[in-house]
Amino acid sequence: MKKAELQQEAASIRRSLFDQGYLDEQFEELEGLRDDSNPNFEEEIVNLFYNDSARMINNLERALPMQFDKLDDYMHQFKGSCSGIGAKRVKLECSRFHECCAARDAEGCIRTFQQVKHEYTTLKRQLQTYFQVAKQADA
């Protein structure tokens, strides 16, 4: 019961993440890679992503004013990483950032970068919640 409820809750959170565009099919791919040695593979990857991307976010912030080439480079890396976990919204904001960067739009870059960070942290929070519930559900 409790377990079933938890499972339902987890499923519901998951569904909404997809519905709201936070996650895309790549996340499903990760789930599909679960196996005996990595029963929660997608969670592991997400954790790895957040750990590693913190560094990238730092790089971006440092380069913000306003080394466009570096920003472009870092963002490219960051975006690639995001795509790996299926962070759809974050990716979208990254693309916007790229456009500003290409246009050498400093203000645009700052603005879009804030949006990137916002989506990034929002997703992190939501995934944490999701994983927590899912774990409880499995426990």
Partner 1 sequence: MNLSNGKGSMSTVSSPAVSKSGDIVSDQFPAGLRVLLVDDDPTCLMILEKMLRTCLYEVTKCNRAEIALTYLRENKNGYDIVISDVHMPDMDGFKLLEHIGLEMDLPVIMMSADDGKNVVMKGVTHGACDYLIKPVRIEALKNIWQHVIRKRKNEWKDLEQSGSAEEGDQKQRPTDEVDYSSSANEGNWRNAKKRRDEDEEAEERDDSSTLKKPRVVWSVELHQQFVAAVNQLGIDKAVPKKILELMNVPGLTRENVASHLQKYRLYLRRLSGVSQHQGNLNNSFISSQEATFGAISSLSGTDLQTFAAAGQLPPQSLATLQAAGLGRSTAKTGMPMPLVDQRNLFSFENPRLRFGEGQQQYGSSSKPMNLLHGIPTNMEPKQLASLHQSTQPLGSLNMRVNASPSQSNPLLMQISQSQPRGHMLNELNVPHVPRLPTSMGQSPVSNGSPGSALGRNGISDNSRGAAYSSVPQTSSMLNFPLSQTTEMPASSFPLRNTPDMSSITSKGVYQDGGSSGMKGSSGFVLSYDIFNELHQHKSREWEVQNMGQNPSYDASQNANPLQGNIDVSPSVLVHQGFSSNQHQMGQNRDAASVGKAMFSLGEGMQSANFQNIGQHQGFQNTLLTDNSVRVKAERIPDANSQTNLFPENYGQEDLMSALLKQQEGMGPAENEFDFDGYSIDNIPV
Contacts with partner 1 by CB under 8 A lie at 26, 29-30, 32-38, 41, 44-45, 48-49, 52-53, 73, 76-77, 79-81, 83-86
Cα separation of 60 and 98, whole Å? 12
Which 8-state DSSP code applies to residue 21?
Answer: T
Residue closer to partner 1 by CB (options 76, 117) is 76
CB of 46 to partner 1, least distance (A): 9
Residue closer to partner 1 by CB (options 75, 134) is 75
Residue closer to partner 1 by CB (options 45, 109) is 45
CB of 114 to partner 1, least distance (A): 22
State the DSSP string of 22-60.
SB-HHHHHHHHT--SS-TTHHHHHHHHHHHHHHHHHHHH
CB of 87 to partner 1, least distance (A): 10
Residue closer to partner 1 by CB (options 49, 130) is 49
| Residue at token pair 């789930």 | 31
The tokens for 59 are: 């790089």
CB of 134 to partner 1, least distance (A): 18
Residue type, 40: N
Closest listed residue to residue 104, CA positions, set 72, 74, 57, 58: 72
